[in-house]
Structure 1
Amino acid sequence: MNRAEKAALQLQAVAVLRMLKETRTYEELSAVTGLPAGDLNRYVNGHVLPGADRASEVVEAVGRDALADELIARVSFDDEGYVDNSGVVFDQSFLDLVAPVAAETFSFESPDVILTAATDGITLGAAMASFFDARLAYAKKSKETAVEEFIESRQRLASGIELTYYLPARAIDAGDTVLVVDDLIRSGETQELLLDIALQADADITGVFTLIAVGDEGMERARAITDAPVGALTTFE
C-alpha cells in the first residue's frame, strides 16, 4: 500500500465512523467498533487519523455491517417481489462509502474500467470508478446515434423476450482489467451480458459486485463465468 492509498483508506474509515456517529453516542459507537470512545472522538472530529491496520478493520468489518444495515433500512419490496432501491441508488454520498468497503471486503484488484448497465447501475459505477481512479463504461439497450462500432451481447430470456446490450467498442481496450458492478442481481441475465461484453473486448475480469443480491441464482450464474471474486453488500432470500 503506497502513501496515497493509505491516506485514502484512513479517510474512508473516518467517513464510516462519522456516518455511524450520526445515530450513536461515542459509548455506543465504541460497543459497535470495539475501539475506545476517546480514540473515536479524535477520529470523528478530525484531530487524528486511525492507523492503516485499524482503518482497514473499520472499513472491512464495521463498515460492511453498518452499510448493509443502512441499505436494508432503505429498500422495500412490493407484493410481487419487485425491489424499490431508489433510496440507495440516488444517494451518491452513501455509494461513495460503499466503494472502499466493497474493495476491502472482496479484495477486488484495481481495475482499468468499471462496467455497468444503464441506468440504475450508473451511480454505483461512478462511485466505484472514482474510488479506483478508473474509467466508467455503461452498456445500454439502445445504440448511440453517432457511434459507429459497438460490442453487442444478446440473450433470449425464458419469457421469450430478447435482451440486448450495446457498448461503444472504444469504451474497453483489449487487455483492460474490468470490474462489473450493478445495483441489483436477481437472475443474473444482465450481468451475464456485461461479462460477455468484457470478454468480447478481450478484457480481464477482476470481479463482479452488486449492492443487492436477491437469491443465489444470479450470483452463481456470474461465478460460473468468472473465477474472479463475486460479491454483494447484502442478500435477500
Structure 2
Amino acid sequence: MNKVRRVERIVALTKILVDMPGRLFSLGYFSELFGAAKSTLSEDMAAIKAAMQQFGLGTLETVAGAAGGVRFVPVRAERAVNCLLQDLAARLAEPERIIPGGFLYMTDILFNPALMVQVGEIFRRQLGRLEPDYIMTVETKGIPPALMTARAFDLPLVIVRQGSKVTEGPAVSINYVTGSSKRIQTMSLPRRAIQAGAKVLVIDDFMKAGGTARGMNDLAREVGVEVVGTGVLVATAEPAEKLVQDYFALLILHSVDQYAKTIDIRPAL
C-alpha cells in the first residue's frame, strides 16, 4: 500500500466515522487500513475530535480496553439544534400545507433525507441516556425519522405493521383504540423482529392523543420488551393529557385554522 499522507488519512477517517455514527471501530482496524501506527492514529483522532467540537458537529468517544475503540457521536450543538427546529417550524407553518379537515401536510419534510438525518441526531442527543437496544416505529410515515434515529444510535429498526404480513412469519397482534378518532385498529410485530427482554425507544412522526404510541407500548409488553421512551417529531398541544407519559416532542402544533389559513407550530425545546 502506498504511503498515505496525514491530510488524506484524516479525511478518510472522518468520512468512515461520520457515515456510521455510534459504530465502535478498533484502532487496529484503522491501523491495518491505513498502514499507520496506533499512536499516529490517536493523534489524528484528537484533531478530528477538536474540529468536530469547535464547529458543533459532534464528538469522538473513546472506549478503553481490549474490546474498545473509537466512535463518532452525533451530538450537535444547542445552537444548531435550535436553528433546525426553527427552520422546520417555519416550513410546516406554510399556509399551503393545510389539508381539508384541518390536517397538516408533512410528507415532503418526512421524506427529506438531509432533514431526517438531523432529526435522528437530535433524538440521539436528547434520548441517548435511555440506552435502548432497538428503535421502534409504526408504518409508514414514522419510518424516516425512526430510521435516521436508528442510524444515529447504530441500532436495528423494528417496524410495527398495521395488520400482519404472511411473508414475515408468525407475529403477535393486538387491537388498539386510536386516541383521536376512537377507532379500533390492529397492529402486529413479527416474533423474530426483536429479542425478549430488550429495551426499545419508540419514534414516530406525529402524536395527537397518543393512541398509536400507547398501542406500541402494549404490543411491546406482549412480546416481552420494555419501552424506555417515546419521541415524536410533532405533537399537538391539545389534548394536553396524552395516552402515554414522558414522551419527548421536537415541535408542538398549537392550532391549524383552515379558514384563516394560519398554522401555529413552535419548537418544543
The secondary structure found in structure 1 opposite 2:169 is: coil
Q: Distance in 2 between matches of 1:191 and 1:60?
A: 29
Counterpart code for 2:252: T
Match of 2:196 in 1: 174
Match of 1:83 in 2: 104
Q: Give 1:139 shift.
A: 1.1
1:71 to 88, 96, 106: 88
Matches within 5 A, 1:151-166: 151-157=172-178, 159=181, 161-166=183-188
Query: Which protein has the bigger strand share?
Result: 2
Structure 1: 5+ residue stretches without partners: 1-6, 13-45, 224-228
Name the CA shift for 1:211/1:51 in 2 (closer, same or farther; >3 Å).
same
Q: Is this contact kept in 1: 2:52–2:58, CA < 8 A?
A: no
Counterpart code for 2:214: E
TM-score, structure 1 length as denominator?
0.70
Q: Is this contact kept in 1: 2:196–2:225, CA < 8 A?
A: yes
TM-score, structure 2 length as denominator?
0.62
1:51 to 27, 50, 53: 53
- C-alpha RMSD of the superposition: 3.1
Q: Distance in 1 between matches of 2:100 and 2:181?
A: 21
Q: Distance in 1 between matches of 2:124 and 2:54?
A: 15
Task: Report the number of matched residues.
Answer: 192
Q: Distance in 1 between matches of 2:228 and 2:204?
A: 14
* Residue-by-residue CA offset, 1:107-153 (whole Å, 9 max, x unaligned): 44232211101000111111011111111111111211233321212
Q: Is this contact kept in 1: 2:177–2:211, CA < 8 A?
A: no
1:138 aligns with 2:138: no
Between 198-207 and 180-189, report the one with greater CA deviation: 198-207
Name the CA shift for 1:160/1:196 in 2 (closer, same or farther; >3 Å).
closer
Q: Distance in 2 between matches of 1:161 and 1:138?
A: 21
Q: Distance in 2 between matches of 1:107 and 1:188?
A: 22
Name the CA shift for 1:221/1:144 in 2 (closer, same or farther; >3 Å).
same
1:123 aligns with 2:140: no
Counterpart code for 2:229: G
Q: Distance in 2 between matches of 1:51 and 1:159?
A: 46
Name the CA shift for 1:102/1:156 in 2 (closer, same or farther; >3 Å).
closer
The secondary structure found in structure 2 opposite 1:59 is: coil
Q: Distance in 2 between matches of 1:159 and 1:98?
A: 28
Q: Structure 1 vs Structure 2: percent identity of aligned residues?
A: 22
Match of 1:35 in 2: none
Q: Give 1:222 shift.
A: 1.4
The secondary structure found in structure 2 opposite 1:217 is: coil
Structure 2: 5+ residue stretches without partners: 1-13, 20-47, 60-74, 255-269
2:207 to 180, 185, 191: 185
Bigger Rg over Cα: 2
Q: Is this contact kept in 2: 1:56–1:104, CA < 8 A?
A: no
The secondary structure found in structure 2 opposite 1:211 is: strand
Match of 2:224 in 1: 202
* Residue-by-residue CA offset, 1:63-106 (whole Å, 9 max, x unaligned): 32112112112223335221111121111121111122222234
